[in-house]
Amino acid sequence: MPDHDRTMPPSLISGHEWLLEGAPDNQIPAHGVEPLVAMRVIDEEIVLDGIPERNLATFVTTWMEPEAQQVIAANLHRNFIDHAEYPRTAEIEQRCIRMLASLFNAPGETTGARTQGSSEAIMLGALSLKWKWRQRREAAGKPTDKPNMVFGGDVHVVWDKFCRYFDVEPRIVPLQPDKFTIGPEDVEPHVDENTIGVAAVLGTTFTGHSDDIGAINDLLVTIKNDRGLDVPLHIDAASGGFVWPFLYPDSEWDFRLEQVRSINVSGHKFGGVYPGIGWLVFREQADLAEDLVFYENYLGKRDATFTLNFSTGSAMVLAQYYNLIRLGRDGYTLVMEVMKKNSEFLAGRLESIGPFEVVGDDAEQLPLVAFHLAADADVPYDEFDIAWQVSAERGWMLPAYTMPPKAESVKMLRALVKINLNRALVSTLADDIAQACETLEKKGGASKHERQRVKTGVGY
Ligand SMILES: Cc1ncc(COP(=O)(O)O)c(C=O)c1O
């Protein structure tokens, strides 16, 4: 008889051994268990994870309507790539792309792709920039061995990844302690004939503001006219692409600007869909390098694919379409306005609580509050201590981080105000931050061990 059978209380029904032995971990168990047991093993373990609704760090959707969840649950078994079998799902993807292209003011017929998120969209968009640059150079009989890409230190890490994975020199404009976005004066010295493109951010990960996209576009137009260099502009609108068109419709950052050739947006951020959906939209069909499109007929029909992955779910594509038609332009506007008003309310409360400075709350911004202790704050704690204390006392996941080079002397706290953070919750959050500061005042900051557990992740 195995040891555990001797120690197992007789009442313990077979399959429940994990209650005493722990969950299977290193090996696939020799024998299966009842579905209910498997479900309990998982459910009981993940209660130790944070509660997504209290995650103030993530840009990604943590609440969808029950009807949307029904659409998702009913379509988990549909492989998106299988266009021959699921042609209506493929058509729905195309509708989403057309709707986004029109939202971003594309001048005419265009093309794009559904992706896993903005990271895949950026890799694909930037690859197209590299291929198009190489074509232009080859046509002119010029070398193609030193491509570079220009962007600011305010970009998401995916841009560094693209450059490393695909062998492009990153020309990164550093930030400054009082300047967290970039403009034309930063870009200008870095652009040359080997620049495959410039990337600008609409809604940065660090403070939610926008690069000076209009002026960067003007610079690139001037460079085109004066030096004959046609340098395309890609807009990383991972978060901002669903915010700016509704909150700041007159602000020009999209295809209304001449040099903007491609835009990425995360459907799973302010598009309001659960994780697993992003979009890449080109200005016109010719902006997608034809060499990057693969044609295959594995699945019963000749099909064009332009993705880094192959098989993937359809559910989030359908959920994106659900949101687009369920909310419409007025619904999205309402959602964005609610989040903006609640973030303004939170910013106001924070300024009244203590020695906090809210960063750039008078500028166009994502619905979030980026804040830090004022330079002259005379307190025995810092931003990292606050992040720890508010998570220890109330379970809020509030990230603390230092800004990218050369603004790393600035510490930041950032609270996303998404649609599930209603006024009562925002108000409670402000009270909880005030309480955490009071505790820290008394205890004189967090311990070394506590500080090691602070949430510092910035971009997701
Ligand atoms: C500006 C920006 N770009 C790209 C990304 C990556 O997006 P995803 O998580 O959709 O891959 C993020 C994520 O937060 C982001 O904020």
Q: What is the pLDDT of residues 27-54, one digit of tens each?
A: 999 999 999 999 999 999 999 999 999 9
Using CA positions, which residue lies closest to atom 13 of ligand 1? 460
Q: Is 218 exposed, middle or buried (0-12, 13-18, 19+ CB in 10 A)?
A: middle
Q: How far apart are CA 124 and CA 363, in angstroms?
A: 31
The confidence score (pLDDT) of residue 206 equals: 97
For the chain, the average pLDDT equals 94
pTM: predicted TM-score of the whole model, two decimal places:
0.94
Tell me which residues have their CB closer than 6 angstroms to ligand 1.
59, 117-119, 156, 158, 201, 205, 236, 238-239, 266, 278, 459-460
Share of the chain above pLDDT 70, in %: 95
Least reliable range by pLDDT among 4-13, 294-303, 409-418: 4-13
The confidence score (pLDDT) of residue 446 equals: 81
8 Å CB contact between 349 and 428: no
CA of 309 to the centre of ligand 1 (A): 18
10 confidence band (pLDDT: 50, 70, 90) = low
CA of 4 to the centre of ligand 1 (A): 48
Q: Which of 370, 460, 398 is nearest to 156 (CA)?
A: 460
> Which atom in ligand 1 lies closest to the alpha carbon of residue 119?
11
Type of residue at 95: R
Q: What is the pLDDT of residues 80-111, one digit of tens each?
A: 999 889 999 999 999 999 999 999 999 999 99
Task: Calculate Rg over the CA atoms of the chain.
Answer: 25
- Model confidence at 448: pLDDT above 90: no
Least reliable range by pLDDT among 69-78, 249-258, 297-306, 379-388: 297-306
192 confidence band (pLDDT: 50, 70, 90) = very high
Least reliable range by pLDDT among 184-198, 260-274, 280-294, 440-454: 440-454
390 confidence band (pLDDT: 50, 70, 90) = very high
> Which atom in ligand 1 lies closest to the alpha carbon of residue 205?
16
The confidence score (pLDDT) of residue 1 equals: 46
Q: Using most ligand atoms within 8 A of CB, pick from 154, 239, 270, 416 the residue to mutate for ligand 1.
A: 239
Q: Using most ligand atoms within 8 A of CB, pick from 62, 204, 205, 280 the residue to mutate for ligand 1.
A: 205
Q: Using most ligand atoms within 8 A of CB, pick from 62, 115, 118, 308 the residue to mutate for ligand 1.
A: 118
- The residues that bridge with 148 in the sheet, in sequence order, are 169, 195
> Which atom in ligand 1 lies closest to the alpha carbon of residue 278?
10
Least reliable range by pLDDT among 65-79, 259-273, 295-309, 398-412: 295-309
Q: Which of 74, 63, 59 is nearest to 315 (CA)?
A: 74
Contacts of 116 by beta carbon, 8 Å cutoff, 6+ apart: 276, 277, 278, 308, 309, 312
Type of residue at 300: G
CA of 343 to the centre of ligand 1 (A): 20
- What three-state secondary structure class fits 273? coil
8 Å CB contact between 381 and 440: yes
